[in-house]
Amino acid sequence: MTETPGNWPATIPGAAAHAAQTWPDAPALIVGEQSWTFAQVWSDARAAASAMLAAGLRHGDRVGIWAPNTREWILAALGAQSVGAAIVPMNTRFKAREAGDILRRSQARLLFAPADFLGQDYAALIAGEDLPDLREVIAIDRDFATFVARGQGSDDPAVDAALAGVGPDDICDVIFTSGTTGRPKGALTAHRQVPQSFGDWAVRVDLRAGDRYLIVNPFFHTFGYKAGWVACLVRGATILPMTTFDTAEVVRQIEHNRITFIPGPPTIYQSLLQAVAGKPDFSSLRVAVTGAAPVPPALVDRMRTELGMQNVVNGYGMTECGVISMTRRGDDAQTVAYTCGYPMPGLEVRCVDAGGADLPPGQAGELWVRGHAVMRGYLDDPVATAEAIDADGWLRTGDIGTIDARGYLAITDRKKDLFISGGFNVYPAEVESLLCAHPAVAQAAVVGVPDARLGEVGQAFVILRNGTQASPADLTAWSRETMANYKVPRAFVIVPDFPRNAAGKVLKTRLRDRVV
C-alpha cells in the first residue's frame, strides 16, 4: 500500500504565510470568544519575530517555551522560527531541576513561561538554577504584548530579511526525550520535515480546511504542536487550544464551537462517553485520532455509534521521527484497535531480528524506520545519535512489533525500558536517577503497572542508605517536588535488596511479581 508524499511548504513559517495567502479571512484561531483569521495570525507572528530580533535573537539561537496551550505559545514559536531560531518546547509539569537541565543544555537565550499557571510562577521556580546562556524570561501570560511592542511591528523589513535566511534544512526545534540512560536527549528536527510529515498525516486522518480542531494534547508534545497547530496551518483548519483537560469544558467547546476534530489518548473519549448521559449535542464530531495506549475494539465501536465519529484512526510515532504510521478512514474496529496502521508516505519500516535481518510477516522483531521524517540527530551527542541511527539511515525505534501481510504495524512490546502513563512516555531509568538524588535512597528500581485510568503507572522499589530513614509517604512527597507528576511513582516499596541475576543485574520481571 503506497501513497505519494504531498507538496507542502518547506518551513513552518512558510506554512503560516501560505495559510494567510490561501485562507486570509477564514478563522485560524479561537480562544474564548475571540477569533483571529489566518492573515491576522501571520501578521501577529511577524510582529513577534520583529520583537525577537529587537531582543537580540539571531539565526541558530534557541528559545525555550515552557507554557500551556495558548495563542501566545504559537506566536512565540512562529516568531522565533521566523528569525531562524529553534524552539525548545518544555513540559509544563517539569520541576526546577528538570527544566534547568534542559535550558542549560540547549543554551536557550530566551524563555517564555507563565507567571501564574496552576498557582506556579515558572520564573521563580528556576531562580536558583545556573543558566549562563539565558538572557531573559518573558511572562507569556502577562507580558507577551509588552514584549511584542519592543519590535517594529509586522511590517518590519528586518523580518523579511530574517525569513529569507530560514531554509528547509535549518533546525526548527529541539525536543527532549528521555531514554534508557536516564538522561534526556534533545532530538533535532529540520523545518522541511514538519510540514511534509504532518501535511501527509493530515491527509491520512482526513483533516480538512474549515475543520474545528480542539487541541487537548499539549503543545510541548509532537501530537499537540506538529500534529496540532502546524497541521492546522498546513490544511486550513481552525485551532482551538485547551490549557488543561476538563471534560465539562470539552463538552462545552464541542457544542459551542461545533468541534469536528478531536485527537487524544483513549481516556479523553472514555470521558466523553460518560458525558453522553447528559445528552450533549455531539453531532458536529467527525474525526478522532487516538494512540499512546491500548484502544479496545469496543471503545472504537462506541466512539462511532455513541459519539458519532465517522472516522476513528490510530497511529504510531515518536519524537525522533514524528509520525511513522497511521490507520486510515474505513479501517474496521479490529484494525484500529490492534494495529498502528501502515507507514506514512516516503517512509520505510522494517521488522528485524537481533542481527538486523528482516523477519517474515507476523513475526515479532524490532521496528526500524528510514526516510525524510527521521531526526537529524541528538543535540551534542554523536554517540547516542550513532546508536540510534545506523550508517544507512535506519532509526532503531526500540519498539518490538510485527508487520502483517497488508503492511500494517502492531506494537507488541518495548525493547526500551519504558511505560506510558496518561499518554506520556515514562522512562524508569530517568525516574530511578532522580530518586537516587534523595538523601536516603541508595538504589531505586521502577516498573510500570496497569492502571484503569492512565494505562500504566510507576511503582518504585527502593533500597535505603545505611543509617537513614524514609517512608513511602516521604518519598512520594519528595518526588512530587522534584519531578513531573506523571513520572512520580504511585507506590513505593522499601526493600533490603533487589532480585538480581548472576551478573548483578536487577530482574525487573521478578519485581513485577511483587507489585502491590
Instruction: Indicate whether 181 pLDDT > 80.
Output: no
What is the pLDDT averaged over residues 192-204? 98
Using CA of residue 169, residue 192, residue 11, residue 76, what is the dihedral sign? negative
Which pLDDT score is estimated for 413? 67
Instruction: Indicate whether 503 pLDDT > 60.
Output: no
Q: What is the pLDDT of residues 481-497, one digit of tens each?
A: 999 999 999 999 999 98
Walk across the sheet containing 455-464 and list its strands.
441-451, 455-464, 491-494
What is the pLDDT averaged over residues 290-310? 84
What is the pLDDT averaged over residues 190-206? 98
Which pLDDT score is estimated for 294? 63
Band (2; pLDDT cuts 50, 70, 90): low
Domain 38-190 in CATH 3.40.50.12780? The answer is: yes
Q: What is the pLDDT of residues 444-474, one digit of tens each?
A: 889 999 888 888 999 999 999 888 999 999 9
Q: Report the Cα–Cα distance between both ends of the chain, in Å, rounded.
A: 46
CA 511 to chain centre: 30
Say which CATH topology domain 419-512 has.
Answer: GMP Synthetase; Chain A, domain 3 (3.30.300)
Which range (13-17, 214-218, 243-247, 289-293) has the least confidence? 289-293
Which pLDDT score is estimated for 283? 96
Q: What is the pLDDT of residues 311-357, one digit of tens each?
A: 999 999 999 999 999 999 999 999 998 899 999 999 999 999 999 99
Cell numbers representing residue 274 in the block: 460518560
Smallest Cα–Cα separation from 229: which of 82, 52, 13? 13
Band (229; pLDDT cuts 50, 70, 90): very high
C-alpha distances in angstroms, 455 versus 174, 419, 422, 424?
28, 9, 6, 10
Smallest Cα–Cα separation from 16: which of 189, 228, 235? 235
The pairing of strands 62-65 and 110-113 is: parallel
Which pLDDT score is estimated for 265? 79
**Spatial contact of 437 and 96, defined as CB atoms under 8 Å apart:** no
**What integer best gives the mean pLDDT of the chain?**
93
C-alpha distances in angstroms, 384 versus 170, 181, 183, 184, 431?
21, 10, 11, 11, 20
Highest-scoring range by mean pLDDT, 14-23, 265-274, 310-319: 14-23
What is the pLDDT averaged over residues 423-438? 84
Higher pLDDT pick, 417 / 475 = 475
C-alpha distances in angstroms, 47 versus 44, 75, 136, 154, 381?
5, 9, 19, 4, 35
Enumerate helices (H) and strands (E) in the chain, giving the number of each: 18, 25
**Spatial contact of 202 and 311, defined as CB atoms under 8 Å apart:** no
Band (502; pLDDT cuts 50, 70, 90): low
What percent of the chain shows pLDDT beyond 90? 78
Same CATH fold assignment for domains 38-190 and 419-512: no
| Residue 215 parent element (H or E) | strand 212-215
From CA 183, how far away is CA 438, in angstroms rounded? 17
Which pLDDT score is estimated for 179? 57
Q: Where are the domains of the chain?
A: 38-190, 419-512
Band (271; pLDDT cuts 50, 70, 90): confident
Which pLDDT score is estimated for 290? 87
Which pLDDT score is estimated for 328? 94
Instruction: Indicate whether 158 pLDDT > 90.
Output: yes
What is the pLDDT averaged over residues 171-187? 84
Alpha-carbon Rg of the chain, whole angstroms? 23
Walk across the sheet containing 171-177 and list its strands.
136-139, 110-113, 62-65, 86-89, 171-177, 185-190, 377-378
Higher pLDDT pick, 158 / 432 = 158
Q: What is the pLDDT of residues 437-448, one digit of tens each?
A: 899 998 888 999
Which pLDDT score is estimated for 455? 86
